[in-house]
């Protein structure tokens, strides 16, 4: 709002006020009081203000990364590159035909299932909630499901490691194991594993099953949980969900303690779809091999991502959004729309 607009409202309600300053584009805070003139460099004072956080961070962050964060916080500005075709409008769904079926897979301790369900529904899916007990007890086979989403969270409180208990519930239960194997053996299915779901798919060796050494998700180099807003650069890729976003740089939330991709082979052996906007900490919150944020299997149908794209589908979800845009959704919704259109094209 303009100053004059605010002043008008205050005057209408007879609220006394005093104008003490104006905002401008300068990097200097100018204080004037009679003969007193003080000019403060905002960048310098921001660093002084941030130092308290650094001193606290230093006591809980490993590998001298608190210092790295302090040195880099002003060197890693968020820059975005939206797809040229992105309109910002919500997806238009053809209500004359039935929606393809998607399922949310969760375990005790999971979270973000509502955000993922909302993204899927908004993109045109009929979404089903599936708990691990449904697989274990034989109530759910996923035979009518074409899109499976494994959600984030801290399944089983990360006891024994992230997603290890969740994976064990599949690997060591005959019914659940058969359901997952049958789903991934089909050629008409898609999946996305986000955060804890990414760790699950890695534990189940679903991304590069032909490799002798499987990918692993290790503890962040900071040796602590990282939660923040960063950016990822999406390269040219064959991912069903993300190929149309190639060339984009988008903001996204991260929240994980074990998000470091350990990729034992040379980079060309993996389908890395997206990398963090900066290779250094904290923009890359975990020091993943090859700066990896997202990757797919060799078919491009099965996507794993540590960043939470499902938590970043609306403009107001982002901690920072391009100024002046009035979008109804963010570009991330396109990933889920692409999934629906691919499935419809196979029918």
What the block records as the tokens of 329 is 């959704």
Contact in structure between 75 and 282 (CB atoms under 8 Å): no
Residue 189 Ramachandran class (φ > 0 left, ψ -120 to 50 alpha, else beta): beta
Sign of CA dihedral 223, 228, 231, 234: positive
Q: What would the pLDDT profile of 6-22 be if each residue is shown by its tens digit?
A: 999 999 999 999 989 88
Sign of CA dihedral 232, 112, 270, 158: positive
Q: What would the pLDDT profile of 45-94 be if each residue is shown by its tens digit?
A: 999 999 999 999 999 999 999 999 999 999 999 999 999 999 999 999 99
| Half-sphere exposure for 185 (CA within 13 Å, toward CB) | 7
Contact in structure between 257 and 220 (CB atoms under 8 Å): yes
- The pTM of this model reads 0.93
198 is a catalytic site residue = no
What the block records as the tokens of 14 is 């007879």
Q: For residues 147 and 124, what is the distance between their CA atoms, to the nearest angstrom?
A: 12
Strand blocks (E) in the chain: 28-33, 36-41, 101-106, 110-111, 126-131, 147-150, 152-153, 190-194, 216-218, 226-234, 249-256, 260-262, 271-276, 292-296, 302-305
**For residues 309-338, average pLDDT:** 98
Boundaries of every domain in the chain? 101-346
- The CATH code belonging to domain 101-346 is 3.40.50.880
Q: Is the pLDDT of residue 1 over 60?
A: no
DSSP 137-202: TTS---TT-SEEEE-EE-GGGGTTSTTHHHHHHHHT-HHHHHHHHHHHH-SS-EEEEETHHHHHHH
Q: What would the pLDDT profile of 98-150 be if each residue is shown by its tens digit?
A: 999 999 999 999 999 999 999 999 999 999 999 999 999 999 999 999 999 99
**Four-point Cα dihedral 277, 340, 296, 304, nearest 10:** 70
| Distances 37 to 18, 23, 30, 31, 42 between C-alpha atoms, Å | 20, 17, 7, 6, 16
| Distances 297 to 45, 149, 193 between C-alpha atoms, Å | 47, 15, 12
Under the banding of pLDDT at 50, 70 and 90, the label for residue 213 is very high
195 is a catalytic site residue = yes
What the block records as the tokens of 280 is 């250094």
Residue from 115, 140, 195, 203 carrying the catalytic annotation: 195
């Amino acid at each position: 709002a303009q100053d004059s607009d605010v002043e008008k409202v205050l005057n209408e309600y007879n609220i006394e006020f005093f104008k003490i300053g104006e905002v401008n584009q300068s990097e200097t805070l100018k204080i004037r009081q009679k003969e007193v003139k003080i000019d403060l460099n905002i960048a310098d004072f921001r660093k002084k203000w941030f130092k308290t956080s650094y001193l606290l961070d230093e006591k809980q962050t490993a590998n001298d990364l608190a210092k790295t964060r302090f040195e880099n916080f002003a060197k890693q500005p968020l820059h975005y590159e939206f797809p040229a075709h992105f309109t910002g409008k919500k997806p238009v769904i053809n209500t004359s035909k039935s929606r393809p079926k998607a399922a949310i897979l969760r375990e005790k301790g999971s979270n973000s299932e509502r955000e993922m369900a909302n993204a899927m529904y908004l993109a045109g899916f009929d979404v089903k909630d599936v708990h691990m007990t449904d697989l274990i007890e034989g109530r759910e086979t996923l035979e009518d499901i074409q899109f499976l989403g494994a959600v984030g969270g801290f399944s089983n409180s990360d006891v024994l490691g992230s997603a290890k208990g969740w994976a064990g519930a599949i690997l060591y239960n005959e019914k659940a194991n058969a359901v997952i194997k049958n789903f991934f053996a089909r050629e008409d299915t898609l999946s996305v594993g986000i955060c804890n779901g990414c760790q699950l798919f890695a534990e189940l060796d679903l991304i590069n099953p032909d490799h002798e050494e499987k990918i692993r998700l290790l503890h962040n180099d900071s040796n602590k949980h990282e939660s923040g807003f960063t950016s990822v650069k999406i390269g040219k890729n064959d991912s069903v969900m993300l190929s149309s976003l190639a060339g984009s740089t988008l903001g996204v939330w991260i929240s994980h303690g074990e998000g470091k991709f350990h990729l034992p082979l040379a980079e060309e052996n993996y389908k890395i779809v997206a990398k963090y906007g900066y290779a250094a900490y904290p923009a890359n919150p975990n020091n993943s091999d090859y700066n990896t944020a997202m990757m797919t299997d060799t078919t491009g149908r099965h996507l794993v991502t540590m960043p939470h794209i499902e938590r970043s589908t609306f403009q107001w979800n982002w901690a920072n959004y391009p100024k002046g845009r009035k979008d109804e959704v963010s570009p991330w919704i396109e990933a889920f729309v692409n999934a629906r259109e691919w499935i419809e094209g196979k029918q």
